[in-house]
Amino acid sequence: MANGGGDDGDCAQRDDAARAAWLYYVGGMRQDRIAEEMGISRQRAQRLVARAAQDGLIRVRIDHPIGACLDLERQLIRRFGLKLARVAPSLGGQGDSIKALTPVAAAELERLFATKEPQIIGLGTGRTLRAVVENMQSVDGRHHKVVSLIGNVAPDGSASFYEVVMRFADRTGAAHFPMSVPVMARDAEELSLYRSLPHVRSSRELAQTAGKVIVGIGQMEDDAPLFVDGFITAEELASLRAAGAAGEICGHVYDADGRYLDHGINRLMVGVRVPESSDATICIAGGDKKIKALRAALKGGLVASLITDELSAQALLSS
Amino acid sequence: MANGGGDDGDCAQRDDAARAAWLYYVGGMRQDRIAEEMGISRQRAQRLVARAAQDGLIRVRIDHPIGACLDLERQLIRRFGLKLARVAPSLGGQGDSIKALTPVAAAELERLFATKEPQIIGLGTGRTLRAVVENMQSVDGRHHKVVSLIGNVAPDGSASFYEVVMRFADRTGAAHFPMSVPVMARDAEELSLYRSLPHVRSSRELAQTAGKVIVGIGQMEDDAPLFVDGFITAEELASLRAAGAAGEICGHVYDADGRYLDHGINRLMVGVRVPESSDATICIAGGDKKIKALRAALKGGLVASLITDELSAQALLSS
DNA sequence: TCATCAACTGGGCTTTTGCTCAATCGCGCT
DNA sequence: AGCGCGATTGAGCAAAAGCCCAGTTGATGA
C-alpha cells in the first residue's frame, strides 16, 4: 500500500513530495515514521518534505487576526476613508515587507476571486503584485476575466518580468487580456498608434469596466522602479521629482496630494489611469520606501482599499 | 516595536502566540530569532509557537492534489455516478480516517460557503462532521442559513455533543436553525407532537429547501453510533440488523441497496430524511467500519457527492 | 559500448526543536 | 499581611530536523 506504485515517472516525485508533506504537516508524523510509511529512507523523507515546502506546495495560514493589526486596520480605514484595509503582521525589524504582506494579500485575492458571478478584474504590475500572485492558491476562476491595466513590453522589447496577468490566469483559469504593447510610447504619435490597435483598445475598454482593480505602487526615490526598469531616464526622473512627483500607480505619476501630474511622461503611458475616488481600486504595497508614495495616494483618494504590513501601517498613521 | 504593547490582558497571550506562529511559519524564522524579535526567551517563543499550533491557529494546506487521489476521485465519480468526489491522502497504515479527511473536507466546505448568493445549508451531526467543522476557517457567511436536519437532544435530555449547526454558525456568522428536540420520538404520538412544534416545523421546512445538505454516515456494527450514543437499545440494533440495516444517515436507516428500511425506528425520527437521488447531498465519511454503510448509500444514490480518504476510497472501489 | 556527468542516495554530524523538571512569580484567599 | 496554590519561567537534556559529503546510479552522448 505504502506507495501508489505505478505512477508516471515524472509526476511521481512531486506526488511523493506532496504526500510526505501531507503526512508531516497534516498527519503530524515524524520524518522517520513517514520514511517507514512510504518505504523510503529518513533522509529521503526529509528531502521530500523540504522540497514540498520549497516548491510552495505548503500553504500555512494563521487563523487569527492579531489584535494589533486589526487595530491598525481600523485606524487606516478611519483616517483615510478606506473601504477596506488589511494589515499583515510584520516579520520583525528589518524583515521584508513584501514577504509579510504577501500571504495576507494572496488570501484576500483568493477571497475576491471565489465569487460565483463573473468579474472583470484589472491588474497592474510590479514586484509586489507578482510575489502576491505567486502565492495564491489555484482557485477556479474560469468565469472571470483579468485584464492588464498597463503595457507589458519593456523598453528593450522584452516582455516585462513583472507582468502578472498571465500568472494570475495560470492559477485561476480566468480569461486573460494582457496589453501586449510597450508601457510607454515615445511620442504622441506612437501613443495614438498603440491606442488604436484593436487588442489594446479592447483591453483598455475592458479595464475601464473592471469591477475590481488591483495595483501596486511605485516610489520616486533614486531607485524608482520606473527608472530601474528602464522606462524613464535619470533626467526624466529628476524632472518628475522637480514637478513634485510622490509616487506612481500603473506608471501614472502623482504628487504629494495624490493628484496626477500634468507631465510629459504621464501623457505617454499606453495603459489606463486608475481613476480617482473609484471604489474598485485595491492597492497592495508596503515597505519604508513606499510610505511617501502610499500616503500621497491615500490622500488623493487614488485607492479605495489597502493591503499592507504592520510597519508600513504604523508609518502611515504616525504623522 | 516588538510587541503591540497596551493590549487587553487576556487576549494579548493569544495575540503573541499568533504573532510568534506567524514569524515562525510565514516568516520562516528560527525560534531564537523570534525570541529576540519579540524580546522574550527562546523557550517562551517555542511555547508560543507550540500553543498556536495546539489551539489550531495554524492551518496548513497542501496545494497539490496527489495524483493517486485524483485518480480515485475519478473512479469514484464514474463508478457511483457521483457529482463530486474528494479523496484525502491517508495518513498511513492505521492512521485515523477522520484526521485525514478533515482538512480536505473543511476546505471544501469553506469553498462551498464562500459564495456571495445566500444559501440554505442542511447539516447532519456526528463525530466526523464535528471534527470537520472545527477545522474550518472562519469565513464570513452571514448571508447564509444553516439548518439542522436532525434533533439535537440526546435521550438523556442533554444537548448532543455532536451538534454542529451551532459550531458552524459560530465560525461563519450564518443564521442558524438548530432543531431543539430529541433525535427520536418514543412513539407516534410524541412524534406528531414534536413535529407540530412551530420551530421544528420551520426547521423541517427550511431543511427541505436546502440547496446543500451535508451529512455524515453511521455504521451498523456493534458500536453503531445510534447505539453507542444511546438512541437505540441493543435489541433495537439487532432488530434493525435483522431487517437488513447497512447504515444510517441522519438517523434514517437503510439497507445494503441504499433503500430506507420500513422499520419502527425509522418512523420515529423527528428530523428530515435525506431524499434519494437529490443533487444536494454531500457526504463526509471514511474509515474501515463505514465502508459497508458507505457502499450501500452510494448504491442507493442517497448521496450525490462524497468526501472521503484514500484508504476508504480504495476499499469502496475494490469489490 | 564505454566514458562523463548530473542528479540522487544514505551516512554522519550540527543545529534546532521539544520536553521535563525544579524554581519562581503572582494572585487570591484567609 | 501571610500563606498556599497554580501558572509560568528558564535550564538542561533528548529527540528531531537539516545539512554537507562522498559514493552510487542512471542517463546521455561520443
Verify if strand C has an atom below 7 Å from the CB of B12.
Answer: no
The pLDDT, as a whole number, for residue A258 is 93
Same domain, B38 and B88: no
- Residue A83 is assigned to a structural domain of this protein: yes
The pLDDT confidence band at residue B6, using thresholds 50, 70 and 90, is very low
CA distance B14 to B5: 14
- The end-to-end CA distance of chain B, in Å, is 62
CA distance A195 to A209: 17
- Residue A2 is assigned to a structural domain of this protein: no
For nucleic chain D, give residues with Cβ below 7 angstroms from it. A 24, 30-32, 43, 46, 49-50; B 13, 40-41, 43-44, 47
Same domain, A179 and A259: yes
- B 162-221 residues inside an 8 A Cβ radius of A: none
Q: Hey, what amino acid is at A195?
A: R
- Residue A1 is assigned to a structural domain of this protein: no
Domain count, chain B: 2
Whether the per-residue pLDDT at B302 is higher than 80: the answer is yes
The pLDDT confidence band at residue B25, using thresholds 50, 70 and 90, is confident
The pLDDT, as a whole number, for residue B197 is 87
Query: Cell for A168?
Result: 494570475
Same domain, B121 and B25: no
Range of the domain at B20: 9-54
- Residue A103 is assigned to a structural domain of this protein: yes
Same domain, A95 and A185: yes
Q: How far is B25 from chain A (nearest CA, A)?
A: 7
- Comparing CB atoms, the residue among A14, A26, A56 nearest residue B60 is A26
The DSSP result for chain B, as a single string, is --S--S--HHHHHHHHHHHHHIIIIIS---HHHHHHHHTS-HHHHHHHHHHHHHTT-EEEEE-S--HHHHHHHHHHHHHHT-SEEEEEPP-STT--HHHHHHHHHHHHHHHHHT-SS--EEEE--SHHHHHHHHTS-----TT-EEEESS--B-TTSSBPTT--HHHHHHHH--EEE---SBSB-SSHHHHHHHHHSHHHHHHHHHHHT-SEEEE--EE-STT-HHHHTTSS-HHHHHHHHHTTEEEEETTEEEETTS-B---HHHHTB-SPPPPTT-TTEEEE--SGGGHHHHHHHHHTT--SEEEEEHHHHHHHH--
Same domain, B177 and B309: yes
CATH code at position A32: 1.10.10
Same domain, A37 and A122: no
- Residue B23 is assigned to a structural domain of this protein: yes
Whether the per-residue pLDDT at B124 is higher than 90: the answer is yes
Same domain, B44 and B74: no
- B 117-136 residues inside an 8 A Cβ radius of A: 117
- Residue B61 is assigned to a structural domain of this protein: no
Please give the angle made by the CA atoms of A110, A114 and A115, to the nearest 5 degrees.
140
Same domain, A20 and A149: no
How distant is C1' of C19 from CA of B131, in Å?
28
- Residue B4 is assigned to a structural domain of this protein: no
**Is-contact B155 B278, C-beta < 8 A?**
no
- The end-to-end CA distance of chain A, in Å, is 63
**Is-contact A101 A85, C-beta < 8 A?**
no
Same domain, B30 and B94: no
**Is-contact B21 B49, C-beta < 8 A?**
yes
- Residue B60 is assigned to a structural domain of this protein: no
Same domain, B175 and B41: no
Whether A92 and B22 lie within 8 Å, measured CB to CB: no
Each of the 319 residues of chain A gets a pLDDT tens digit; together they read 333 333 333 456 778 888 888 888 888 888 888 888 788 888 888 888 888 887 778 888 887 777 678 778 888 998 999 999 999 888 766 568 888 888 889 888 888 887 888 989 999 999 999 989 888 877 788 889 999 999 888 777 777 778 888 888 888 888 888 888 888 998 999 999 889 888 888 888 888 889 999 999 999 999 999 999 888 999 999 999 999 999 999 999 999 999 999 999 999 999 999 877 788 999 999 999 999 999 999 999 999 999 999 899 999 998 7
Maximum alpha-carbon separation in chain B? 70
Same domain, B31 and B109: no
Comparing alpha-carbon positions, the chain A residue that sits nearest to B98 is A27
CATH code at position B228: 3.40.50.1360
**Region B175-192 average pLDDT:** 89
Query: Which residues, listed in sequence order, are joined to residue A85 by a DSSP beta bridge?
Result: A306
Please identify which residue in the block is written with the cell numbers 404520538.
B189
Nearest residue to B226 (alpha-carbon basis) of B192, B191, B266: B266
Same domain, B76 and B214: yes
